[in-house]
């Protein structure tokens, strides 16, 4: 169930943040923006951006997804066209291990990630001449038509998720670098474990007692239970986006960045300088309205 009163209260807190959006141009994580290297780098990196296993114990200022991008960027600086279809069609698990190891910690599931990259590369070469920008052009820069961007992205195994988490994340990043689509109102939230947990801890989503009890006990959820939570969270966040008057991709910056730090004793993020400090205190209190354990989801590369 979605608590609409809580959604409205949350919207009031979020408006006061006066957030100034980021541009995904950190040179330690992303190449220089252009029409080929940057979009293809992001396409391939988002394809393998799930459950990295890079926790804060690595000692880096980056962790999780950010550390994945940091290591990829180091490789891309050495070989500017590394993250392109023509180069990745034969990438191996050993290649993945060599690139994505930091202080002795290696990314989880090297074989799976190598498979996803090879699949993306092969299909991109076969159907779009090895360039994700050609996919957007063939889709005529529409999202949700039968042959639109979202349908075409589902041709790739990494992007086949019915909830389209990685598709929405890809579009979110490229949108900040100037990608324009004809129907931006069809953009949704890249719903993952962080957003689900935040929706529960802020109490804008209230699952039934049996499901909440299962989460509290740390028991692994079924695929059906996971789908229910993801769908409910997505609907609640779209409602929140409309109530705040903030586009989903921009609101996602705030919710995901702070949501993944929700267990930290003192939350510090790169967004702190982009929001109102007093409102931030109220925001952090709101998203910690109740404690929710890290949720045990079934294995997936969807998020």
Q: Are 220 and 297 in contact (CB under 8 A)?
A: yes
Q: Are 262 and 33 in contact (CB under 8 A)?
A: no
Kindly report the CATH number assigned to the domain that includes residue 83.
1.10.340
158 domain residue, yes or no:
no
Question: The domain containing residue 259 runs over which residues?
Answer: 4-21+189-287
Q: Are residues 74 and 10 in the same domain?
A: no
| Residue 256 pLDDT | 98
pTM of the model: 0.95
Q: Show contacts of 26-29: CB within 8 Å, 24+ apart.
A: 27/73, 28/62, 28/70, 28/73, 29/62, 29/66, 29/69, 29/70, 29/73
| Residue 55 pLDDT | 81
128 domain residue, yes or no:
yes
50 domain residue, yes or no:
yes
303 domain residue, yes or no:
no
Q: Are residues 17 and 41 in the same domain?
A: no
Angle at 47 between CA 31 and CA 219, to 5 degrees: 130
**What's the total number of domains in the chain?**
2
* Residues pairing with 102 in the sheet: 105
| Residue 106 pLDDT | 97
For residue 243, count other CB atoms closer than 10 A to its CB: 17
Q: Which residues of the chain have pLDDT under 50?
A: none
**How many CA atoms are closer than 13 Å to the CA of 151, on its beta-carbon side?**
11
CA-to-CA dists, residue 95 to 82, 110, 207, angstroms: 11, 9, 42
Q: Are 248 and 189 in contact (CB under 8 A)?
A: yes
Q: In angstroms, how far is the first alpha carbon of the chain from the final one?
A: 22
Closest CA to 20 of 279, 217, 208, 288: 279
For residue 50, count other CB atoms closer than 10 A to its CB: 23
32 domain residue, yes or no:
no
The structure tokens listed for 90 are 């034969």
Percent of the chain with pLDDT over 70: 99
**Measured on CA atoms in the order 15, 18, 23, 25, is the torsion positive or negative?**
negative
* Residues pairing with 2 in the sheet: 205
| Residue 57 pLDDT | 61
For residue 133, count other CB atoms closer than 10 A to its CB: 17
For residue 233, count other CB atoms closer than 10 A to its CB: 23
């Amino acid at each position: 169930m979605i608590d609409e009163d809580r959604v409205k209260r949350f919207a009031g807190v979020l408006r006061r943040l006066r957030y100034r959006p980021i541009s995904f141009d950190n040179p330690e994580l992303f190449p220089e923006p252009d029409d080929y290297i940057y979009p293809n780098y992001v396409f391939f990196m988002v394809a393998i951006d799930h459950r990295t296993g890079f926790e804060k114990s690595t000692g880096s200022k980056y962790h999780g997804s950010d550390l994945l991008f940091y290591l990829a960027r180091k490789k891309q600086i050495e070989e500017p066209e590394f993250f392109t279809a023509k180069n990745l069609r034969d990438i191996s698990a050993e290649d993945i291990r060599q690139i994505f190891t930091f202080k002795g910690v290696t990314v989880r599931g090297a074989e799976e990630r190598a498979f996803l990259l090879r699949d993306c590369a092969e299909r991109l070469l076969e159907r779009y001449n090895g360039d994700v920008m050609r996919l957007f052009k063939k889709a005529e820069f529409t999202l949700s038509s039968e042959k639109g961007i979202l349908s075409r992205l589902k041709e790739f195994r990494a992007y086949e998720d019915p909830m389209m988490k990685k598709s929405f994340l890809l579009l979110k990043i490229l949108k900040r670098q100037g990608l324009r689509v004809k129907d931006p109102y069809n953009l949704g939230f890249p719903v993952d474990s962080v957003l689900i947990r935040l929706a529960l801890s802020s109490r804008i989503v209230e699952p039934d007692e049996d499901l909440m009890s299962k989460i509290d006990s740390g028991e692994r959820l079924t695929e059906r239970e996971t789908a229910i939570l993801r769908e409910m969270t997505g609907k609640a966040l779209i409602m929140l986006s409309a109530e705040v008057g903030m586009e989903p991709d921009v609101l996602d910056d705030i919710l995901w960045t702070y949501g993944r730090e929700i267990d930290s004793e003192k939350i510090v993020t790169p967004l702190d300088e982009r929001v109102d400090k007093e409102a931030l205190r109220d925001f952090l209190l709101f998203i910690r309205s109740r404690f929710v354990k890290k949720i045990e989801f079934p294995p997936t590369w969807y998020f």
